[in-house]
A and B are shown apart, each in its own frame.
Chain A
Amino acid sequence: MSDETPLLKLDRATIRFGGLTAVSELDLEIGRHEMVGLIGPNGAGKTTAFNLITGVYQPTSGSIEFAGRPTAGLKPHHLAKLGVARTFQNIRLFASLSVFDNVRVATQLHREHGILHSLWRGKGFRESEAAVESEVMDLLSIFKLEGLRDEQAVSLPYGAQRRLEIVRALATRPKLLLLDEPAAGMNPTEKEELMHLIRFIQERFSISVLLVEHDMTVVMGVCQRIAVLEYGKKIAEGTPEQIKCDPKVIEAYLGEEEVES
């Protein structure tokens, strides 16, 4: 596979729920190490697009390719194995598990040991578990969560839960990370930190990022390219500067924002 193959390619991807076309003929490409934003007013189909890419929904028509491979028929856990990881708009951590275990669960897809290993608990099992532990602790310490390893995940403060969700996604060793409104509910300082964090993640793990976000400062601040959705259709795509000046976008989105503020 050459470097020119986009990591993710949506070709006229469409999904209908009964009479409602949630996403209509969406074309989108994400290159390697690229940071792309997906914006649009409420109900524009951003999260549905996420669910298409991650295999939660199958497109009614059109196709999606990941790393040159069609993803039709693949379930979310298959796509996770191929290298698509995500966070959720409303945080979905494993509530009964500790911080450590939340991340640990996400490492199991790259490990071969299954039932018999867990039952026999031989040398191979212990080594593998030790490797998992150091991998998880490394990740946790990058995001300054190592001190909270034995806390129950849902008892963490909101910002830390958001970070933990990102750590958990990174533990699947993704090639593409999808962030669904990571700035939701954050104050300006936290948003500033988040922008640093996203840039840092992309460099440190050299992955592509697709960011769905309402907050213009964050999207404009970190993305190289932005696609705008309205009523399930892509109405514009370009650099942050182009998007800022696009009359269609201003009409659909930014115009409303200015009236509000």
Chain B
Amino acid sequence: MLSTLNSRLSTSFAGAKRWLIAGILLAALASYLSGGINPYDRGVWIDCGINIILAVSLNLILGHTGQFSLGHAGFMSVGGYTAAKLTLVCAALVPAALHPLLFAAALLAGGLMAACAGLLVGIPSLRLRGDYLAIVTLGFGEIIRVVMQNTEAVGGASGLSGIPKLTTLGWAFALAAVTIYAIAGLVNSTYGRGFLAVSDDEVAASAMGVNPVRYKVTAFVVGAFFAGIAGALYAHHKQTLVPTGFDWLKSVDIVVMVILGGMGRTPGVIVAAIILTWLPEHLRVFAEYRMIIYALLIILLMILRPQGLFTLRFKKKGKEAKTLP
């Protein structure tokens, strides 16, 4: 039952826009009601929204298109710094009533700058694959960090502070809804099936008229765009940006969300993003062991559930296949 439901959904993705609108309304409502919850919890929920955007957008690159990227924190920082700088400069010039508009513009600018960075990184992916691409994207993330660290205009090593607090629960979840809609919508179309084809078999995809280079670069640009937006939300949530906050371990965090949720399975990735945002908050005592725990988690996952923790679709298929003679 579930498998037929899923495949129906994957071929038609019907009523997608209604879901998007429902998601945005829900986010607005949550934002309205969130005044009651304590600021700490609200803050973590905003983190959840931001991490959902990061994980779902990385899922396009890593899960759907199969390009191993360790540069997502780099794209995020490009977006964050761009947006923060913009609001810092313009906040005094714009009346307070127009700040939400300014914020929207800053989010867009952050996304666009990150998309440009995505284009730059996408180009080496014309030639590289697998581990080599991972190393190049890793290097890119570090280069961005070092550049930020040495650029006085964005605060150098001490970073940017005093960024206006403009990110609300509503913004975070509404944009998470937009991201989910955009990525799922893209992949669930005849055009978007090309991403999966490239991931499965580049040679065969190419022989069927799918241009692998174009798809890979597109995945990087779109993924980076949303990572940039997440970075902009992050900047206006934490109110300070330091270059060390975007080191490669941050990229690994996002990769873990995608792998744990199941590569290319959007619902699983969303659940994983929420769990992996809340879990460290509750396990602060073990904070130093976080990376060890992540490593163990991934090894266990690869052995026990290589399809990801929260996916049901292929489990069912597998059972059916086994009952065949």
Q: Which residues of A contact B (CB under 8 A)?
A: 54, 56, 75-77, 80-81, 85-86, 88, 92-98, 100-101, 104-109, 111, 113-115, 117-119, 121, 125, 128-129, 132-133, 150-152, 155, 168-169, 171-172
Max count, chain A CB within 10 A of own CB: residue among B3, B205, B208: B208
In the docked arrangement, what's the CA distance between A92 and B200, Å? 9
B201 within 8 A of A: yes
In the docked arrangement, what's the CA distance between A94 and B264, Å? 14
Max count, chain A CB within 10 A of own CB: residue among B12, B190, B218: B190
Given known A-B contacts A129-B189, A150-B7, A94 and B17 have beta carbons under 8 A apart: no
Q: A77-B209, A105-B196, A152-B321 given. 6 additional CB < 8 A pairs?
A: A94-B201, A98-B7, A105-B197, A118-B188, A151-B317, A155-B324
Quick check: B190 and A54 within 8 Å, CB to CB?
Answer: no
Q: Which residues of A contact B192 (CB under 8 A)?
A: 118
Residue on A nearest B183 in the bound complex, by CB: A119
In the docked arrangement, what's the CA distance between A3 and B185, Å? 44
Given known A-B contacts A56-B203, A115-B191, A121 and B209 have beta carbons under 8 A apart: no
Tally inter-chain residue pairs, CB-CB below 8 A.
Answer: 123
Given known A-B contacts A95-B201, A129-B189, A54 and B207 have beta carbons under 8 A apart: yes
Contact of B264 (CB < 8 Å), options: A56, A81, A96, A111: A96
Contact of B210 (CB < 8 Å), options: A88, A105, A119, A125: A105
Task: Write the nearest CB–CB distance from A149 to chain B, whole angstroms.
Answer: 9
B250 within 8 A of A: no
Task: Write the nearest CB–CB distance from B159 to chain A, whole angstroms.
Answer: 34
Taking residues whose C-beta sits less than 8 angstroms from the other chain, chain B's interface range is: 35 or more
Given known A-B contacts A54-B207, A86-B207, A152 and B190 have beta carbons under 8 A apart: no
Quick check: B189 and A125 within 8 Å, CB to CB?
Answer: yes
Contact of B208 (CB < 8 Å), options: A56, A100, A118, A172: A172
Task: Write the nearest CB–CB distance from B146 to chain A, whole angstroms.
Answer: 33
Chain B contact residues: over half helix, strand or loop, or mixed?
A: helix
Task: Write the nearest CB–CB distance from A51 to chain B, whole angstroms.
Answer: 10
Contact of A77 (CB < 8 Å), options: B17, B191, B210, B222: B210
Max count, chain A CB within 10 A of own CB: residue among B4, B12, B211: B211
B151 within 8 A of A: no
Q: Which residues of A contact B182 (CB under 8 A)?
A: 119
Quick check: A94 and B209 within 8 Å, CB to CB?
Answer: no
Given known A-B contacts A80-B207, A94-B205, A105 and B321 have beta carbons under 8 A apart: no
- Some 5 contacts from A to B, beta carbons below 8 A apart, are A88-B203, A101-B10, A108-B193, A128-B190, A169-B208
In the docked arrangement, what's the CA distance between A189 and B139, Å? 56
Quick check: B185 and A114 within 8 Å, CB to CB?
Answer: no
Given known A-B contacts A75-B206, A109-B209, A96 and B196 have beta carbons under 8 A apart: yes
In the docked arrangement, what's the CA distance between A115 and B185, Å? 9
Quick check: B206 and A76 within 8 Å, CB to CB?
Answer: yes
Max count, chain A CB within 10 A of own CB: residue among B197, B199, B212, B218: B197
Contact of B190 (CB < 8 Å), options: A77, A129, A168: A129
Quick check: A115 and B205 within 8 Å, CB to CB?
Answer: no
Given known A-B contacts A108-B209, A119-B185, A150-B7, A93 and B190 have beta carbons under 8 A apart: no
Q: Which residues of A contact B205 (CB under 8 A)?
A: 94, 105
Q: Which residues of B contact A109 (CB under 8 A)?
A: 208-210
B16 within 8 A of A: yes
Q: Which residues of B contact A104 (CB under 8 A)?
A: 190, 193
Residue on B nearest A112 in the bound complex, by CB: B191
